[in-house]
Structure 1
Amino acid sequence: MDTLIIEGGARLSGEITVEGNKNAALPLLAATLLTDEPVVLDNVPRIKDVAVMQQLLAAVGCEVVEQARTRVSLHTKQVTTSAPPPELCRRMRASFALAGPLLARTGACTLPVPGGDRIGRRPVDTHVAALQKLGATVEVFPDRYVMKAPRGLFGADVFLEEMSVMATENVVMAASLAEGTTRIENAASEPHVQDVCRLIVAMGGSIEGVGTNTLVVHGQPRLHGATFEVGPDYLEVGSFIALAAMTGGPLLIKHARPSDHKMTAVAFGRLGVTWEDRGDDLFVPADQQLEVQHGLHGAVARIHDAPWPGFPADLVSIAVVLATRCKGSILIHEWMYESRLYWVDKLIAMGARVTVCDPHRAIVEGPARLYGQAMSSPDIRAGMALLLAALVADGKSVIQNAQQIDRGYANIDGRLRALGARIERV
């Protein structure tokens, strides 16, 4: 178990480059199973979840070659099994992104109940219902799902009961090799969903409506190889914006793709945070005046998550810790996952003034003086939020289970040290 030791209070500044989007890289890796030709992915983040997905692909017959630090070649001449190792699958929820490609390529797929962060109920009902629409049969067992399409998949009209990112990706991947046309309504439109669509198009697929909530996928008899660059991780960018605002800055965030951060600008703007777009980069000026900005007639300020292009659910934890540094009170409403806020007891132990109203809402009052604590990272985003808190706290903090943070942030301790952080890994 990895442990981070942080001495708080250092002013962080300089430049940091954004890694590839984890939430894009994982389904993109899965999508390479759709062809028997080589696919090369660039800007692949070197994080633990990516390593697990690469192991899963190798286990089903893919030849995985790391050509450079962020460049990976994947070639699945033949799928050797449609049942990847359950022990690997249970290490992350994204393993369920193999369902669509394996069904499309082999007509069968057996996957265990997915693992991953414990942030609330995240059932796969939407995935299953959509794949059934395409002609798959699904047997549900207590510990696994057995999916079959011995006669292949067929285009259909699919309405997703929720804007599930991975369900959208699974249906798009499955439909890309299905016979006929599939229309997907209420589809998710996050940048990583768009990346999956664009890779499939680069492989010879045909998809209309990319970036909208209605996708039309024209199935092809086969797809070919391609080279594709994973887009930047907008969750890293949001985390680094908060980092700069909390620790003093200034900070230049390179390869940030500013167009991805319009709603983050609205949400963080309610806490007084500002930044400048500089081409493909973002610049966060030093010494931000962090103060809660209330609405018209003094309406209580609120930050809430929503499907894209709304404020990302994975930045809610970051918003909570950022709010502890701001003058005033703000309501944080996490309506998507009922366990996302359960980590704030650790923040309260550091000195934060946070009132948890119910599983979905918390009121943060600041600014609060934080003090170093020993704690454990419960998941990727809460772990990063606790790391941000530790960087501004008085004294020393110890974060155990730091490998949870590593699942979403590559070499985070080394990158923070380069900005001036006093942090070491043991």
Structure 2
Amino acid sequence: MATFQIEGGRKLNGTLEPQGAKNEALQVICASLLTSEKVTISNIPEIRDVLKLIEVLSGLGVKTERLSKGEYTFLADELNLDYLQTEQFARQAISLRGSIMIVGPLLARFGKACIPQPGGDKIGRRRLDTHFVGLQNLGASFTYDAEKHFFNVTANRLTGNYMLLDEASVTGTANILMAAVLAKGRTTIYNAACEPYLQQLSRMLVMMGANISGIGSNLLYIDGVEQLRGCNHRILPDMIEVGSFIGLAAMTGSEITIPNAGIDHLGIIPASFKRLGIKLELQGDDIFIPAQDEYEIETFIDGSIMTIADAPWPGLTPDLLSIFLVVATQAKGSVLIHQKMFESRLFFVDKLIDMGAQIILCDPHRATVIGLNKKFQLRGTTMSSPDIRAGVALLIAALSAQGKSKIFNIEQIDRGYEKIDERLNQVGAAITRID
């Protein structure tokens, strides 16, 4: 198990370019299973979760080739579906929640798919009902092996249908969408997720020959086609990494430029950071964050305490709530952080309290942060990364803290951030990776 040793209290200065979006990569790589022609995808982040998914596809028989850093080709012309029954596949899929999105493409193209209960971050209950109910609406039969914890779906031929999703699940919408593009007739998906990465997946499928309308809205119409062709696709910058870098600059009082940030796809993320008092300038597709000695949290217009809460797109992504929380610890003023979607994502705050932060954990979903206004630095400590986003929030806290910190279980951070220690050290951080 690897560890980060961090010397805190340093101001950073320089340029941090965001990697390709992890969440988009997992979707569009799975979409390559829908065609027997070659698919080329660029700006792929070479992080643990994405590389694990590429291994899963290789095990299935997909011919994968790394053309250059972040650019891969996928050719799914000769697949071995018997691989789905192997112990190796079970081990791989259990460790990667994104593996659930192979189900829709395999079901649409071959009439069957199976997957073990997938893993991922331990941030609370993450049910899969939306995925499988949606596939059943298209005519699939579903069974669950409680002893082996395996989900199985089969279908002679999927048929389009109307469905109103019980939740705007991003991966659920992606799975249903990828199945529907090869179904017979029209599928209507209401209350569909409409995140930029879902829009990217939709546009990629259209390039492959799919017929999709309503892209960017929560009402999608898909008219099924007989087959799809290959395509070239480029992944967007990762909005979560962009937000992480904004928070890092504010916490450490650093001057940071984020080039090629994909500003048109960030939604309310920049405005939400401004509500915490963080100054940032949008310069073309770049974001410039000047060094700030302090930043003050706004209040609502009636003077009541500010609330930062997650919501389905175009609301604030839940993946950034951990970053907003840690940044608020050094702000002037107070804020209520409301994590609506996952009941275990705020449990890392005890580590911030150990560092000197003033936080009241109201319940599993809400925490009140009383900002220290940078009058009192957080102090270094030893901690462990519970999940990807909390891990990076703790890393940001450690970089701003006085003294040295250690973060164990940094494999969690590596799942979502490519060589984050090396990239931050290039702008003045002092992070040592101990294997």
- Pick from 385, 388, 393: which aligns with 1:377? 385
Distance 1:92 1:225 in 2: 26
1:135 equivalent in structure 2: 139
Q: How big is the shift at 1:288?
A: 5.5
* Deviation, structure 1 residue 14: 0.6
Q: CA deviation at 1:369?
A: 2.5
**Residue 130 of structure 2 corresponds to residue 126 of structure 1:** yes
Q: Which runs of 5+ in 2 are unaligned?
A: none
1:96 equivalent to 2:100? Answer yes
Rounded to whole Å, the distance in 1 between the matches of 2:411 and 2:200 is: 26
Equivalenced residue count is 425
CA RMSD of aligned residues (A): 1.0
| 1:394 partnered with 2:399 | no
C-alpha displacement of 1:141: 2.1
Distance 2:347 2:329 in 1: 16
SS at match of 1:296: coil
Aligned equivalent of 1:10: 10
1:302 to partner: Cα distance: 0.8
CA contact (8 A) 1:6 1:423 kept: yes
Q: Give 1:73 deviation, angstroms.
A: 0.5
Taking the aligned partners of 1:132 and 1:2, their CA distance within structure 2 comes to: 42
Please, which moves more after superposition, 283-292 or 188-197?
A: 283-292
Q: In the alignment, is the contact (CA less than 8 A) between 2:207 and 2:231 conserved in 1?
A: yes
For 2:228 and 2:267, locate their aligned partners in 1 and report how far apart those are by CA, in whole Å.
35
> 1:186-214: CA deviations, max 9, x gaps?
00011111111111111111110111101
The answer to whether residue 251 in structure 2 is matched with residue 251 in structure 1 is: no
Distance 1:273 1:45 in 2: 28
Query: Is residue 25 from structure 1 mapped to residue 25 from structure 2 by the alignment?
Result: yes
How far apart, CA to CA, are the structure 2 residues paired with 1:425 and 1:360?
32
Higher mean C-alpha deviation, range 380-389 or range 284-293: 284-293
- Picking from 103, 110, 121, the partner of 1:106 is 110
Partner-residue secondary structure (3-state), 2:316: coil
Partner residue in 2 for 1:331 = 336
TM-score (norm 2): 0.96
Deviates more, 1:120-129 or 1:361-370: 361-370
**Retained in 2: the 8 A contact 1:64–1:72?**
yes
Is the counterpart of residue 49 in structure 1 residue 49 in structure 2?
A: yes
**Which stretch of structure 1 is more off in the superposition, 261-270 or 324-333?**
261-270
Match for 1:391: what amino acid?
L
For residues 404 and 312 of structure 1, the distance between their equivalents in structure 2, rounded to whole angstroms, comes to: 19
2: CA distance, partners of 1:191 / 1:2: 33
Q: Provide, for residues 255-291 of structure 1, a one-character-per-residue CA deviation record: whole Å limited to 9, x for no partner.
A: 1011233412232222101211111111111216311
Within the alignment, does 1:276 sit opposite 2:281 as a pair? yes
Q: Which one-letter code corresponds to 1:354 in the other structure?
A: I
Deviation of 1:159 after TM superposition, in Å, equals 1.1
Residue 62 (str. 1) matches residue 62 (str. 2): yes
Counterpart code for 1:231:
L
Task: Give the alignment's TM-score, normalised by structure 1.
Answer: 0.98
CA contact (8 A) 1:89 1:112 kept: yes
Instruction: Give the Cα separation in 1 of the matches to 2:285 and 2:110.
Output: 40
Q: What is the CA-CA distance between 1:125 and the residue it aligns to? A: 0.4
Say which SS state the counterpart of residue 316 (structure 1) adopts: helix
Hey, which bits of structure 1, 4+ residues long, moved more than 6 A?
none
What is the CA–CA distance in structure 2 between the aligned matches of 1:184 and 1:303, rounded to whole Å? 29
Partner residue in 1 for 2:151: 145
Structure 1: unaligned runs, 5 residues or longer: none
Contact 2:274–2:280 (8 Å) recurs in 1? no
Partners of 1:349 and 1:141 in 2: CA distance: 43
- Conservation of the 8 A alpha-carbon contact between 2:277 and 2:295: yes
Whether 2:355 is the aligned partner of 1:350: answer yes
Q: Name the CA shift for 1:34/1:259 in 2 (closer, same or farther; >3 Å).
A: same
- C-alpha separation between the residues in 2 aligned to 1:162 and 1:262? 20
CA contact (8 A) 1:183 1:217 kept: yes
> Residue type of the partner of 1:259?
D
**What is the distance in 2 between the residues matched to 1:161 and 1:408?**
28
Comparing 268-277 with 392-401, greater Cα deviation is found at 268-277
Q: Work out whether 1:170 is the aligned partner of 2:175.
A: yes
Residue 158 of structure 1 deviates from its aligned partner by 1.5
Rounded to whole Å, the distance in 1 between the matches of 2:398 and 2:315 is 28
Q: Secondary structure at the match of 1:416?
A: helix
Q: Residue type matched to 1:109 in 2? A: A
Corresponding residue for residue 159 of structure 1: 164
Residues 43 and 288 (structure 1), Cα distance of their counterparts in 2 relative to 1, 3 Å cut: farther
CA contact (8 A) 1:9 1:392 kept: yes
Rounded to whole Å, the distance in 2 between the matches of 1:63 and 1:288 is 52
User: Cα deviation per residue 1:172-193 (whole Å; 9 max; x = unaligned)?
Assistant: 1001111111111000011111
* Percentage of matched positions with identical amino acids: 46
8 Å CA contact retained: 2:250, 2:278:
yes
Q: Deviations over 1:29-66 (max 9, x none)?
A: 10000000110000000100011000110111101111
The SS at the match of 1:41 is: strand
2:212 to 202, 207, 211: 207
